[in-house]
Amino acid sequence: MLETLKQPWPWYVAGALIGLTVPYLLLVGNKTFGISSSLRHLCAACFPGDIKFFQYDWKKEAWNLFFVAGIALGAFIGAQYLSDPEPIVLAASTQEYLATKGITDTTQLLPSEIFSWDQLFTVRGFIFFVVGGFMVGFGTRYAGGCTSGHAIMGLSSLQWPSLVATMMFMVGGIIMTWFILPYLLTL
Residues 4-33, interacting with another protein (CB under 8 A): 5, 8-33
Site for another protein in 35-64 (CB under 8 A): 35-40, 42-43, 47, 51-57, 60-64
Yes or no: say if 169 and 150 are a contact pair by the CB < 8 Å rule: yes
Helices 160-175 and 132-143 cross at an angle (nearest 10°) of 160
Length of the chain: 187
The residue among 1 and 60 lying less far from another protein, judged by its C-beta, is 60
Mask: binding to another protein, 123-152, rule CB under 8 A, as x and -?
----xxxxxxxxxxxxxxxxxxxxxxxxxx
Rounded CA separation 69/65 (Å): 6
Q: How far apart are CA 178 and CA 129, in angstroms?
A: 19
Reduced to 3 states, what is the DSSP secondary structure of residue 185?
Answer: coil
Residue from 1, 2, 3, 72 in contact with another protein (CB under 8 A): 72
Nearer Cβ to another protein (110/186): 110
Residue 99 makes CB contacts below 8 A (sequence gap 6+) with none
Count of residues interacting with another protein (CB under 8 A): 138
- Helices 62-81/37-46 angle, 10° precision: 120
CB of 81 to another protein, least distance (A): 9
Among 100, 102, 122, 161, binds another protein (CB under 8 A): 161
Report the residue from 1, 2, 91, 123 that binds another protein according to the rule CB under 8 A. Answer: 91
Under 8 Å between Cβ of 39 and 143: no
Cβ proximity to another protein: between 71 and 186 the closer is 71
113 binds another protein per the rule CB under 8 A: no
Task: Choose which of 100, 102, 164, 187 interacts with another protein (CB under 8 A).
Answer: 164
Is position 167 an interface residue for another protein (rule: CB under 8 A)? yes
DSSP string, 86-147: SPP---HHHHHHHHHTT----SSSS-TTTSSGGGTTSHHHIIIIIIHHHHHHHHHHHHT--I
- C-beta of 102 vs 168, nearer to another protein: 168
> Is 5 or 186 the residue whose CB approaches another protein more closely?
5
117 binds another protein (CB under 8 A): yes
